[in-house]
Amino acid sequence: MRFPECVKCYKAIPWIGIGSNSSLFVMKLSVGLFSGSQALIADSLYSLKDVASSSVIWISARISERGMDPEHPYGHEKVEFFATLVISIFLFLASGYMLVFALDFIFNQSHVQPPHLIALFAAIVSVLVNIFLYKYSRCVAYETNSPLVATASRHNEADAFSSSLVIIAVSAGHFGILILDPIVASIEAAHLGMLSFSLLRDSYAGLMDKSLPEETNNYIKKVTKRISGVDSISKVRTRQMGHKVWIELTIKVSPAISVVRARGISESVEEELFNHVPHVSNVLVRFEGSPATVDV
């Protein structure tokens, strides 16, 4: 990360999320019930979901800070992927319930009164707060490479989108388009379901040690080939452990050079990768010649 302040922001993210989203949940649920806006009630569950997400971020941050120990030689960073998996399952179930409720309201109930305009005020406040939270968490996610904070950022973006739809639905209700409110509630449920599926896929990939993106692996190869003495790269293995990147690679060197010289080349590769690949936590470089292979 570029700035030491990023660590403070990373630690503050859960508390900011819990405080702001708890307030938004209470406001949107109470106003939704008072105004009769089904869309705003559904939107309040977005904020409830974010409270749960922020709580999990805090717990995961505490666990991942423990580092390596004899029972966990690779550290505790993967707890972030597990936490994201839990959140995504919760979102999927919540969105399913919301969708069934909204569709039932469309087909089996009728609107006799448009939502009270106080729902419009609540939705505008929600949009402004979530835009701020989105930009703040996106910055922290970029600097720390944390999948959980990135998840929180996407949640805030989705919340701003959801509250914008509420603004449209409540406004339309006062022009006689009463059915739009439950329709927006169903759209919110479908959107939340798609988001939960995306999070489920990402968390599963992290738990299964999926390789980093191809462009990142290609950049690692490019950095490695800049080191004098590296003839080629025979193997590259990468994975993400929470917000940290692990790299393992095997380079080929001339069989005519000494083991000491080959070891020096490997150490130069490690140093170069640490200096030029963001968020690297661990680098393991092996070298091999022909026909012998020697591990660093």
- Higher-scoring residue by pLDDT: 268, 207: 268
Give the pLDDT score at 125. Answer: 93
Strand-pair partners of 69 = 72
Distance CA 216, CA 225 (A): 14
Work out the average pLDDT over 181-206: 82
With tokens 């972030």, the residue in question is 80
- Higher-scoring residue by pLDDT: 165, 291: 165
CB 41 within 8 A of CB 31: no
Band of pLDDT at residue 127, cut at 50, 70 and 90: very high
- pLDDT per position as a tens digit, 137-152: 888 888 777 766 777 7
The pLDDT of residue 164 is above 60: yes
Work out the average pLDDT over 262-268: 90
Tokens representing residue 139 in the block: 């910055």
Residue type, 120: L
Give the pLDDT score at 295. Answer: 45
Give the pLDDT score at 79. Answer: 73
CB 158 within 8 A of CB 197: no
Give the pLDDT score at 31. Answer: 92
The model's pTM: 0.61
- Higher-scoring residue by pLDDT: 94, 257: 257
With tokens 């968020």, the residue in question is 279
Residue 282's H or E segment, with its range, is strand 280-288
- pLDDT per position as a tens digit, 220-253: 999 999 998 898 898 898 887 766 788 989 999 9
Distance CA 147, CA 243 (A): 6
Domains present along the chain, CATH in parentheses: 5-207 (1.20.1510.10), 214-294 (3.30.70.1350)
Give the pLDDT score at 194. Answer: 85
Tokens representing residue 159 in the block: 């919340």
Write the CA distances from 249 to 78, 144, 239, 262, 265, integer angstroms: 21, 24, 12, 14, 13
Of the candidates 28, 91, 23, 24, the one whose C-alpha atom is nearest the C-alpha of residue 56 is 91
Q: How many helices (H) and strands (E) does the chain have?
A: 8, 4
- pLDDT per position as a tens digit, 110-122: 555 678 889 889 9
Strands (E), 10-133: none
Of the candidates 263, 212, 214, the one whose C-alpha atom is nearest the C-alpha of residue 239 is 212
Q: Which residues in 132-164 are b (16+ Cβ under 10 Å) and which e?
A: ebbebbbebbbbbbbbbbbbbbbbbbbbbbbbb
